[in-house]
Structure 1
Amino acid sequence: TSASNSVPSWISPNRELGSHEQTVFEETPRPRPTLSVSSPRTVGACFSGLQLPAGVEPYMIQEIVKLIQLDKNGIYPYEICLDDHPVERGWFPYMLSDECCLQSMMFSVRAFTDGAQPNQLSRFARLHITKTLQMLQARLNDPDQSFAISDGTIMVVFFLASAAELMGDFAAVENHIRGLEKIVNLRGGVRALNVHNNLQVKVCRADLSYALLSGRQPLFFKTSISWDYFLADRGLIQCSHSPHDTSIHIFLKTNIDTRLHNIFRDLHAFSCISNLAYQTTRKLSPDIYNEVMISILYRLTHLSFDNPMQEALRLSMLAVSSTIFMQRQFMDNPYTYLLNLYRNALFQVSSSTGPQLPVSLSLWMTVLLHVVERGEQSLEDGRGERLDRAVSNAGVESWPQAREMLRSVVWIDFVHDRVGKLVFEASMVRLGKSAIWDS
């Protein structure tokens, strides 16, 4: 394959991810993973020959294996991603060699299993967080700063931020993310971090998650950001959504900032690739999945518009991205701030005098709000009425017709169909239409 066919990394443009053809792989279908993991006997057998740090018991390793499996299932959708062996990448090297990192991971496990508030931690959780903070402070105070800015220290702060997010302690999340920023900057920035252990990705995910939770801009990639499309027009997939895609393309090209339009094209391409991967044995590599996620979310979160229509489109793409890339399976509506911004933006668009949205885009924006809200209906504040109006204007008589419109924008069947179909059918009932309930 020629160099021109290579896909450059968005995070580190000088690094190549492989040829276009290699970015989607063939794999036989895998069974749906569950939240169960290997039995303790099997897990114990895996680590029986390992030399563990002082004070580290095998049960700790078993608990962390569960957390790793939960994290992997939440981050890499099995429907479209190749499996990524957690022992070989990411957490295990630190877990088995850095006691501070292991203690921080155990604290994360306890924060998750206890489901506690910061002032209601169990005895074990308090033990792990106390040890973590003591060890972390010692290395930060060490005159030799190489340990203070090591990969292991970055992982410690990452786990502290993750645990704080689980407990809803967003002030602590901010403190940890700002600490992470200082360490990463001392290392030379995100692009200088190790690419072989997912460290870049974990730092970016923590930064982006904080941005979505708080509504603030992320701390990394403030400058030297690429606004070009990353995935679109690389020949990875040929999709057609006639006649809806023509009106959308003309509208966006005429009325939307080029940077935002490029993000839209990437999101649309990713949704089509995801639907293909779900229906076939073709799967995305985790590397490509991460690059797409990071490129889309950093561009969206570093933009903002005074124009109501452009800001509504930006927030709609952030909202749909949160359902694809940043799911929190064990938290109800974690991105409340983003949801409120999106509601307000849709209201502003409905009362503005700007260009008329294509019916497919209007339908998508309105249905998406209910999908992000996970189907919560509220007719009192007009959301149900706006949905009914959008469905009526779209002129669709069945869910398959509506879904084809939604797919012409950004719609991943296995992510959005369940709630999307429910809210559409409820709207059809309210409109008194005899819908065809085809799946």
Structure 2
Amino acid sequence: MNEVQMRLSGPDAIADSSISMIVSLISQEQLGNQLENAEIHARGLQQIVRLRGGISSLEGNFPLALQVCKSDIMLSLQLGKSTIFFRDNMPDLATQQELIFDPFMIPGSVASGYYHVGSTLQKIFSDVMRFCAMMNAEIRTTSLDFLGFEEILISICYRLLKFRSLNELKNNPDIHSMFHLGLTVFTMSTFLQFDRHKIISHRFLSTCLQEVSRFQSYGNQDHLNFWFLMVGGIWVANDEDGDWAICTIRETTHRQGITTWNQARSILCMFPWIHGLHDQPGYDLWTRAQANQEKIEFTVPGR
């Protein structure tokens, strides 16, 4: 650590290599669940980036900029607090990736305005649906590399966390919280598909899911409830205390009269859902939720 402190107090304090070193330190503290130490390092990183001229000053080293943002988002989710930085390149990314069509022209999709969640969440929902449509397309008109994929998700995460932190939504379980948290968990489950084991603990996010799941709205919001529980259930599927999701999904499907996976999947596809990433874990979760009910015949698309 002395070597690190000497480096950060010297002429290379604001160099890319120093920023990368601090990001690594934050990651190490996150892995060890030493969140207070991670937050201290993050505040130091904030000062260095400020001296550099802000997060936009890192554009010359695009991968490093994304590393800083990803570290910031992960820590925000772990602590339940607001992010330190903000980055939203979605308008440019949408044009580059030709995400310019109306997402509600997707067969069976829902309009977020139907749930009266406000213009901010409506716009985020719209962009997420565009992203899903691109990922689900059998033939893509543009190519999306890994860095572009990450930048789309980072832009979405930052907008969600700017709208409301996890601490705020945990203490206010309502339709906005359900919509907001569902989008957050969907985005994170997509973000971490390249690290399925989730070696960094996100227990606070899982706790928020359980708290908000207790808010149950009925009538024309039943489908939203079901999607929220399924994306949340995928997130906590391997948690030791994740059985609450199985029980709640079972109760919800019984109440809504959903008896087959095809029915379930048709509802899920009305909302953000990427077939290649979510169909299999969704099907696995569905079968677990139905395990203690009467035997039901399931059919999985493509099987």
Q: TM-score range by the shorter chain?
A: 0.7 to 0.9
For 1:213 and 1:283, how far apart are their aligned partners in 2? 32
* Letter paired with 2:5: Q
For 1:238 and 1:151, how far apart are their aligned partners in 2? 42
Contact 1:275 1:413 in 2 (8 A): yes
Contact 2:77 2:202 in 1 (8 A): yes
Kindly tell me: are residues 417 and 233 of structure 1, through their superposed partners in 2, closer, same or farther at Cα, counting changes over 3 Å? closer
Shift of 1:167: 2.6
Shift of 1:397: 3.6
Report the counterpart of residue 345 of structure 1 in structure 2.
212
Question: What pairs up with 1:149-168 in 2 under 5 angstroms?
Answer: 149-168=14-33
For 1:152 and 1:384, how far apart are their aligned partners in 2? 45
Contact 2:30 2:38 in 1 (8 A): yes
Shift of 1:168: 2.5
**Higher Rg:** 1
* Letter paired with 1:345: V
Q: 2:191 matched to 1:325?
A: yes
Shift of 1:148: 0.9
For 2:254 and 2:221, how far apart are their aligned partners in 1? 13
Q: 2:126 matched to 1:265?
A: yes
* Letter paired with 1:260: L
For 1:380 and 1:396, how far apart are their aligned partners in 2? 20
SS at match of 1:241: coil
Report the counterpart of residue 436 of structure 1 in structure 2.
298
CA displacement, residues 128-166 of structure 1 (integer Å, 9 cap, x when unaligned) = xxxxx3333223333x4xx21111111111111122222
For 1:438 and 1:329, how far apart are their aligned partners in 2? 22
* Letter paired with 1:190: I
Kindly tell me: are residues 186 and 276 of structure 1, through their superposed partners in 2, closer, same or farther at Cα, counting changes over 3 Å? same
TM-score in terms of structure 1 length: 0.59
Return the match for 1:369 from 232, 239, 260. Answer: 232
For 2:253 and 2:92, how far apart are their aligned partners in 1? 31
Contact 2:83 2:162 in 1 (8 A): yes
Report the counterpart of residue 309 of structure 1 in structure 2.
175
Shift of 1:373: 0.9
For 1:407 and 1:330, how far apart are their aligned partners in 2? 25
Return the match for 1:290 from 150, 163, 187. Answer: 150
Kindly tell me: are residues 433 and 378 of structure 1, through their superposed partners in 2, closer, same or farther at Cα, counting changes over 3 Å? farther
Contact 1:230 1:292 in 2 (8 A): yes
Shift of 1:374: 1.6
- Quote the RMSD (CA, aligned, Å): 3.2
TM-score in terms of structure 2 length: 0.82
For 2:19 and 2:106, how far apart are their aligned partners in 1? 44
Report the counterpart of residue 336 of structure 1 in structure 2.
203
Percent of aligned positions that are identical = 22
For 1:307 and 1:166, how far apart are their aligned partners in 2? 29
Q: 2:4 matched to 1:136?
A: yes
- Structure 2: state its 5+ residue gaps: none
Shift of 1:282: 6.1
Report the counterpart of residue 86 of structure 1 in structure 2.
none
CA displacement, residues 76-132 of structure 1 (integer Å, 9 cap, x when unaligned) = xxxxxxxxxxxxxxxxxxxxxxxxxxxxxxxxxxxxxxxxxxxxxxxxxxxxxxxxx
